[in-house]
Structure formats: structure tokens, C-alpha cells
Structure 1
Amino acid sequence: MAEDLSRYLDTAIEAARAAERVINRYYRGDFEVERKADASPVTIADVECERVIKQVLAEAFPEHGFYGEELGRESIDAEYVWLIDPIDGTKSFVRGYPFFSTQIALMRAGEPNNELIVGVSNAPAFGNGEMAWAARGEGAFLNGEPIQVSSVDTIGQTSLSMGNIGALGASKAWPKIGELVGDVHRIRGYGDFYHYHLLATGALDAVIESDLNILDIAALTVIVREAGGDMTELGGGPIGLESRTALATNGRLRSQLGPYFVDWDEARHAPRG
């Protein structure tokens, strides 16, 4: 691995572990829950996690910018920008079930597209803890072991997971999605970090999701791609700062799944917050 990418990845893992220590202090404890303007929940744990993540990253890379779920944007025009969702799945965290994670990604600015180059996805309360990570060109790993997408190459054999199904159902694309549901082998709805981890390890073959924020999927995009898969918006556009949807596959299924979403209008769908 190139020296800089190795340093970026190691520091991102260190930052995720620092956030994990904060999470462990609060999870299933007594804390207040506030509501953002969009009615989504936020807790002291979210804010403290983001602060410790930024502290670790800023000490190592003071020239880098930040775009965080809770603390907003800082030096966003820097060459390198860290994308941080300290607790992706705060609703799960608040209710005391383990489908939440810390998402940390590094984006290198440039034309024609910003480039995601490092991703760390840590779910400390899930099972015995589940951390996935990847750096561009160096493969993906889950709890230290290399991971790879499946070899499934037909719709009829595909295991598909869908996230934010209510929003998908309210879209004009729902009839085509209904066709897809009937065509695949199996449907699941794991959501959040988990179905992307399953895709990257070969346990699922495709994921579709709407009403996202880039902070939810930036790190997972790196991980899925480095495991041999691909990830775009539902309509086929590249993942970027304004992305609101995701179509992730094992790569072999891209040409077969893409036509189901060819008329998807990304602009109609707002982020979930």
C-alpha cells in the first residue's frame, strides 16, 4: 500500500476505535435524545463521537477538511476531506439494538469527480464487534480478514437487500422494483451498514437504497468496490457529495440490475438526515 494511504487508513481506524470507546460509555445507558430540524434524533454520544474522531484526524492531518453529520463542514475546499457519520443509525442506538455504526471516509478532491480513497465502517455493538475497512487499490477487510463479493451472475440466483423501503415504495420506480422483487431469488431488508458488509463478504449479491446521505455510504462505497463490487446511484450516476440513493452489486449483476432503475430521478429524493 502506498505510504500515504496506509497512514490515512491507520488513522481512520484509530479514530473509529476512539469513537467506539465513547459509544461503549453511552450505549443502553441513560441519556437525553434531542431532535434535529428534520425530526431525526441526536444524542450527546453522536456529538462526542464526532469530536473525538475529528481530534484524532486533525492531529494527524491538520491541513485536511471535514464534513461531519453533527459538526458540519470545515475547510471543505481542502484537497483531502474526511466524511464522518459518528453514529449512523442513531434510532437503533437510542432504542438499544445494535444496527448502528461509525462511518469514516476520506475523499480526495478533483475533477471530474471527487475520489473516495479510504473507508472504515465500525459496528462495535453488533455481535462481537464488526469493523470493515478498505483503501483504494488494496482490497477490503472485515475484522482483519480479506473479503470478496460473490460470483452470482444471474438475477434468478440473486439475494437482494432493500433499505428505506417506504421511500422506494412511494417513488414512481416502485412498479419496476416490484418486478425486480419477483425476479430475484431472495429479498431481505437488513439496512444501514449491515447489508453492505454482507455484500462485500459475498453473503448478499445486491443492495438498493433510497433517502441516503453521502455520509451514510461513503466509507461503504470504498469497501464494496475494494471487495470487487460496484456502487452507483440508483439511476447509474456516480456516488458523490449530493448522492441520495445507492445501487450496489457484486459487479457481475450490474448490467442486469441497471435497467430496472434507468428512469430513476435522483433529484426527487431528499436525504434521510
Structure 2
Amino acid sequence: MASSAELETLEAFILRLAEAAAGVALPLFRSVELGEVSKPGHSSGFDPVTEADKGAERAIRALIEAEYPDHGIIGEEYGTVRADADYVWVLDPIDGTRAFISGLPLWTTLIGLRHKGRPIMGVIAQPFLKEIFLGSPLGSRLITPSGSTPLRVRACAALDQAVLATTDPHLYSGDEEPAFTALRKASKLMRYGCDAYAFAMVAQGTMDGALETGLKAWDIDAIIPVIENAGGVVTDWAGAPVGPYGGQVMAAGSRAVLEAAIEHLSPASKPAEVH
């Protein structure tokens, strides 16, 4: 593991990366100049990508290549280089592109850092709201223009007291659909449409859990250190650590909520697709 001094240097750099991405994305948010296209081959028929996605990732990659040319990069828009490096950056320049093109400030920039295959640092950045949720072995905190505040999950003793979230209930099909429905009915409240921002709320302690399916590495790597270093837990639907390819994910502020959720989800657990 990196020393505290090395972690502080990497934290400062990951904040620079988030700032660079925001410099590209914010001028295009709610802009009539924003163009969008649909990626081919998506099962829903509409998988949007914009110049904000592409430009933000280019900005992040340029800084990494300039400062840490021996580090690897896994990015949603421009692929993978040096995947076997000790340090690998995992990038989703705009998580929640549908929210972005709809003018909703629930999209985020996700930047994660793996060390020897394990996520050790991440940011969930929402620049329109001027929020950066940062997590590393030095702790998790919310950074805003007014300062830095420690992040801490809240204790929730039971699933029927829990506020949960997922992006879209229609994401779940096959065996996943009844598993999700059972979890929804067992929880106090289920919220929709927040993408990765819901995971930030778990770390902040205003929600108790968030789940997704079909995630890629760039959808989850940044999130894991933010929640874990705020005292929460993140696993796959079988209750095991999330693998390097994403897949089905359940995050919770308390072990009690996680274990109760996994009871509903585990019958539909399946391996992540390898990419």
C-alpha cells in the first residue's frame, strides 16, 4: 500500500482530474450546443454519448499521460492501456449521460484508482452542485467550495427501515426481476433515477443502500473506496467482493442492511460479463 504522503499526492492529483473533467462538461450541461448520438448495439436501442463524455475523458487521460505515464487507464470512451500496471485509473467521464442530456444535475464524473488490481481511491464528482465525494485509505470526505466534511454512513438496523435506490427498475429481467421486486417490497423506500449519485448519498448517510446490475468497471471502481472508507460495505449479489469487471452490485451503509438485501438478491446472482 502507498504511504500516507503518496496517498496525499494521489488525492491532490485525482482532484485535478475531476476539475479538468468539469472544465469540459459544465459548459455543455444544459447547452443547446450539446450534440448526442446513440452507441450502436445497445439492448435498449438508446445508449447516448455526447462530446461532454468524450471531451472529459480526453482531458483526464491527457493529465494522466503527462504526470503518470507508467500508470494504466481503463476508460469508457477510449478503452484500455497498460492494464497490467501497478496503478490503473478507471474512468467514467459522465456517469448518467441520460440525466446529463435531460438537464438533471444527477450525473457525475467517476474516477477510480486501482493498486495491484484493488480499488483504493475514488471520486464521485458533481460539478454543477460543486460537490466532490472523495474516498481513500486516508478517509472519505465531501469537498465543496466551503470546505471539507468527513463522510460517514448511517446505522440502519433493518431492511424495513432502509431507504434504497437503483437507477431504473426496468433494468432487471429474468431471475433478477423477482429478486429486485422482493427487495423493493421489503425496504422502507426505493428511489429511482440517481445513477452513481445514489451511492454518494449512501456514503453521506442520507440513504441506506443502492444496487445495480450490468455495471462495467468504470461504473463502480470509483464508488467502492468512497463508501468503504465512510464505513459502508460494497459487494456483489452473492455477498462477495466486486470483481474487476463490475456486474451486479449492492452497497449499504450497514452490514445488517447488506445481509438482508443479499438474502433477496443472491438467488439471482450471476458472474459479471468479462470485457
What is the TM-score normalised by the length of structure 1? 0.90
1:181-260 → structure 2 map (5 Å cutoff): 181-253=184-256, 254-260=258-264
The answer to whether residue 125 in structure 2 is matched with residue 118 in structure 1 is no
The answer to whether residue 73 in structure 2 is matched with residue 66 in structure 1 is yes
Equivalent residue in structure 2 for 1:265, among 259, 269, 272: 269
Misfit runs of 4+, over 4 Å? none
Q: What is the rounded CA distance, in whole Å, between the counterparts of 2:86 and 2:166 in structure 1? A: 34
> 1:57 Cα shift?
2.0
> Which deviates the most, 79-88 or 21-30?
21-30
Closer, same or farther: CA 176–27 of 1 in aligned 2, 3 Å? closer
Q: Which amino acid aligns with 1:50?
A: E
C-alpha contact (below 8 Å) 2:154/2:205 kept by paired residues: yes
C-alpha contact (below 8 Å) 2:168/2:193 kept by paired residues: no
Q: What is the rounded CA distance, in whole Å, between the counterparts of 2:139 and 2:157 in structure 1? A: 21
> 1:50 Cα shift?
0.7
How many equivalent residue pairs?
263
Q: Which amino acid aligns with 2:82?
A: S
Q: 3-state DSSP class of the match of 2:66?
A: helix
Q: 3-state DSSP class of the match of 2:222?
A: helix
> 1:13 Cα shift?
0.7
> 1:121 Cα shift?
1.0
> Which residue number corresponds to residue 23 of structure 2?
21
C-alpha contact (below 8 Å) 2:100/2:107 kept by paired residues: yes
> 1:197 Cα shift?
1.2
- Give CA-to-partner distance per residue, 1:145-191, whole Å, 9 cap, x none: 101001111122111212331122x2313334333322222222243
1:41-190 → structure 2 map (5 Å cutoff): 41-109=48-116, 114-125=117-128, 128-136=129-137, 138-143=138-143, 144-168=148-172, 170-190=173-193
> Which residue number corresponds to residue 12 of structure 1?
14
Q: 3-state DSSP class of the match of 1:97?
A: coil
Closer, same or farther: CA 8–61 of 1 in aligned 2, 3 Å? same
What's the C-alpha RMSD, in Å, of the aligned pairs?
Answer: 1.9
Q: What is the rounded CA distance, in whole Å, between the counterparts of 2:151 and 2:165 in structure 1? A: 19
Closer, same or farther: CA 33–180 of 1 in aligned 2, 3 Å? closer
- Specify every segment of 5 or more residues in structure 1 that has no aligned partner in the other structure, as ranges: none
> 1:250 Cα shift?
1.2
Identity %: 27
Closer, same or farther: CA 234–191 of 1 in aligned 2, 3 Å? farther
What is the TM-score normalised by the length of structure 2? 0.89
Q: Which amino acid aligns with 1:130?
A: E
C-alpha contact (below 8 Å) 1:12/1:57 kept by paired residues: no
Q: 3-state DSSP class of the match of 1:67?
A: strand
- Specify every segment of 5 or more residues in structure 2 that has no aligned partner in the other structure, as ranges: none
> 1:22 Cα shift?
0.8
C-alpha contact (below 8 Å) 2:133/2:142 kept by paired residues: yes
Closer, same or farther: CA 164–213 of 1 in aligned 2, 3 Å? farther
Q: Which amino acid aligns with 2:255?
A: R
C-alpha contact (below 8 Å) 2:24/2:56 kept by paired residues: yes
